[in-house]
């Protein structure tokens, strides 16, 4: 009861000052009866910004995935190139050592290897004689 008297007092004070009482507003009275104020949502505005937000997130995810795959491929390619370079260097070293040294291929068959420079010299000497 005291709240009704308070409401009436507030209503009378507002009328005396020339202001409209909030209790005369039909939306306000309906909201008081329902316990909430009705939402007046701008669905076009919400939909527009939701679509823009979702599109932005999708674009960022695609960019992140592309960057990841680019750098992953680049790293694996560099690792592969480094591995192949090391293998080629090792094979060149072995080949140059083999071409520049003396050694036994098959002792029973009497096959030996000699440095390539010596082999060229022997072949030229044999050809010239």
For 71-124, what is each residue's pLDDT tens digit? Answer: 999 988 888 888 888 888 999 998 888 888 888 888 888 888 888 888 888 888
For the chain, what percentages of helix, strand and coil (3-state, to nearest 5) are there? 75, 5, 20
Residue 12 domain-assigned (yes or no): yes
Give a yes or no: residue 25 inside a domain. yes
Domain that holds residue 32: 8-40
**23-65 pLDDT, tens per residue?**
566 777 777 677 666 667 888 999 999 999 999 999 999 999 9
Compute the distance between CA of residue 11 and CA of residue 48 in angstroms, rounded to an integer.
Answer: 42
Residue 113's nearest CA partner among 126, 100, 125 is: 100
8 Å CB contact between 105 and 112: yes
Asked if the structure places residue 26 within a domain, the reply is: yes
Q: Tell me whether residue 36 is in a domain.
A: yes
């Amino acid at each position: 009861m005291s709240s009704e008297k308070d409401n009436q007092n507030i209503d009378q004070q507002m009328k005396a000052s020339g202001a409209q009482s909030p209790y005369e507003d039909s939306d306000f009275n309906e909201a008081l009866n329902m316990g909430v104020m009705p939402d007046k949502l701008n669905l076009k505005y919400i939909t527009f910004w939701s679509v823009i937000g979702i599109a932005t997130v999708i674009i960022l995810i695609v960019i992140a995935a592309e960057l990841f795959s680019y750098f992953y491929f680049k790293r694996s390619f560099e690792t592969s190139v480094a591995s192949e370079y090391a293998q080629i260097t090792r094979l060149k070293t072995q080949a140059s050592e083999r071409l520049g040294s003396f050694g036994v291929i098959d002792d029973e068959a009497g096959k030996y290897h000699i440095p390539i420079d010596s082999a060229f010299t022997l072949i030229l000497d044999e050809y010239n004689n």
